[in-house]
Structure 1
């Protein structure tokens, strides 16, 4: 099984943003040594406890401190930007780090309504124009606009020998069909979706139209997972991130991921307990045997080509150890 890393650059309650971003770099380095295929980082704006609003900036830091692991955005939120600018940014990354760059795109706002308005005057309009934005972005990446097109005389320089690999990220059939229509690879975010992912992926594969000769539909499924030596230890470590997610739902969580001690002492009402239980059901939590079995089950259920793992812990050492335990049981 091919395994990859999705990093949200979480900030723990005892960390600064600088420390959290440095831990992201250490995670990418460790993931490379462990044999993970990719390291992707996400775009979030003014969200409590998350340190990365600009994947392209963090990826330049990650790329400079690694050698072989693929690096990419999971996701770059296209409706906020012009396709030409995104192509320039990721072409430059692909020039700096040849053959290693993935450009994962999505259409979520990545923050509050107030943040969305601060970033873009036309976000909702651009969401409606997403098919057009995606087509233009792909043409810029391929440098193949027709002679009749407005953009035929410009190039998203510097143009790399190996272009960034485009991916569409989503949690709905709409995103899957957009990926299929444009012949790009697809990532389904199981960890943040209540949709029937297997049906969505099936629809993607059935409607896939190759963008280039030899292209085939390929799928990554992203899951939340936490692995420790025992199921009990894994449950204890996972509680911090679960409590933090519940706090964020209430508009709290500004202090970042709480310690295990704080998480254990946090009182929840019935609605919050139900939310925590629901989130926990979407996670893989256990010892290496349990986690391996569940990953294999989900890989088969979704017919995925690759599984991408998102792990959030209070202590960065617990996060690294979780990825290490999983790699030891999967990656030779």
Structure 2
């Protein structure tokens, strides 16, 4: 099964965001050596704890330091931006690295202040035109803007053969229908809404209509999950403590400037929290045997074509080891 990584570029607890960028390049090079198919950069705002704020820039940085791995966004938050500008950026990336660029598109909100600062509409109102934006972006990318459209007379540059692969990402039950209707590959964020994975991917497959524009003849479903794997379950549970601490602080309305170390997170909770035995845990944590067992159950229920993994392991060496162990399980 094809495997990919979604990197939000966690800032090392005692380092800088520049260190996070260097780590991303190193992990992408290691992933390429392991035969991993995708390396995607996420988009997050409002916290220095993660460094992936501008995926379109980081994609070029990572793609230039690798040779064959596909590099992309996981995802560009289209609700904040002009589809034309996103299309220009990613067609430029495609011109620089033909056949290697993925444009993952989603929508999310970063908080009241950040949303207004990012929004096209500076009065703070939220405009729900996601479906129109996605259609417009796809049309710009592929050069298939309908003749009667208001923007049909505008030529898009750079004018190079082909286009980046566009995928729709989501964690709700509305996005799979849109992906299916447009004939796009679909990625479900199982680490955000674990219980929604099975119905969302089933809905995507029911809704799918082949598109001559996209060229996808059958549904292509990707399941994104948060995985922490180590040589022992005890070590994996320790490495997962920073992400548990992050979610705990987020639920109390706080945004920390740095992710905690495992020791800081353990001190906060007063113990190491054991891996969940839920059928669909938010975090898949354990040694290779345990992780394989949980992933096997998830794959059996959702039948994805690919798996994308995310993590917030703050130790770089442990993160690289986790990726290697997971690659060995799935490839």
Q: What is the TM-score with the length of structure 2 in the denominator? A: 0.92
Match of 2:251 in 1: 249
Runs of 5+ unmatched residues, structure 1 = none
Partners of 1:251 and 1:147 in 2: how far apart? 48
Name the CA shift for 1:121/1:155 in 2 (closer, same or farther; >3 Å).
closer
Asked if residue 266 in structure 1 is aligned to residue 265 in structure 2, the reply is no
Which one of the candidate residues 210, 234, 237 is aligned to 2:236? 234
Partners of 2:249 and 2:129 in 1: how far apart? 34
Q: Secondary structure at the match of 1:147?
A: coil
Match of 1:285 in 2: 285
Partners of 1:293 and 1:198 in 2: how far apart? 17
Asked if residue 318 in structure 1 is aligned to residue 306 in structure 2, the reply is no
Residues 227 and 283 of structure 2 are in contact (CA less than 8 Å); yes or no, is this contact kept in structure 1? yes
Residues 92 and 159 of structure 1 are in contact (CA less than 8 Å); yes or no, is this contact kept in structure 2? no
Runs of 5+ unmatched residues, structure 2 = none
Structural mapping, 1:165-204, within 5 Å: 165-204=165-204
Match of 1:118 in 2: 117
Q: How far is 1:254 from its partner?
A: 2.1
Residues 190 and 197 of structure 2 are in contact (CA less than 8 Å); yes or no, is this contact kept in structure 1? yes
Asked if residue 62 in structure 1 is aligned to residue 62 in structure 2, the reply is yes
Asked if residue 17 in structure 1 is aligned to residue 56 in structure 2, the reply is no
Q: How far is 1:314 from its partner?
A: 1.8
Q: How far is 1:125 from its partner?
A: 6.2
Match of 1:82 in 2: 82
Q: Which has the higher helix share?
A: 1
Residues 182 and 211 of structure 1 are in contact (CA less than 8 Å); yes or no, is this contact kept in structure 2? yes
Partners of 1:156 and 1:126 in 2: how far apart? 27
Asked if residue 211 in structure 1 is aligned to residue 211 in structure 2, the reply is yes
Q: How far is 1:328 from its partner?
A: 2.4
What's the C-alpha RMSD, in Å, of the aligned pairs?
2.3
Partners of 2:176 and 2:54 in 1: how far apart? 24
Name the CA shift for 1:194/1:34 in 2 (closer, same or farther; >3 Å).
closer
Residues 80 and 119 of structure 2 are in contact (CA less than 8 Å); yes or no, is this contact kept in structure 1? yes
Q: Secondary structure at the match of 1:154?
A: coil
Partners of 2:243 and 2:24 in 1: how far apart? 16
Q: How far is 1:241 from its partner?
A: 2.1
Name the CA shift for 1:300/1:145 in 2 (closer, same or farther; >3 Å).
same
Residues 239 and 260 of structure 1 are in contact (CA less than 8 Å); yes or no, is this contact kept in structure 2? yes
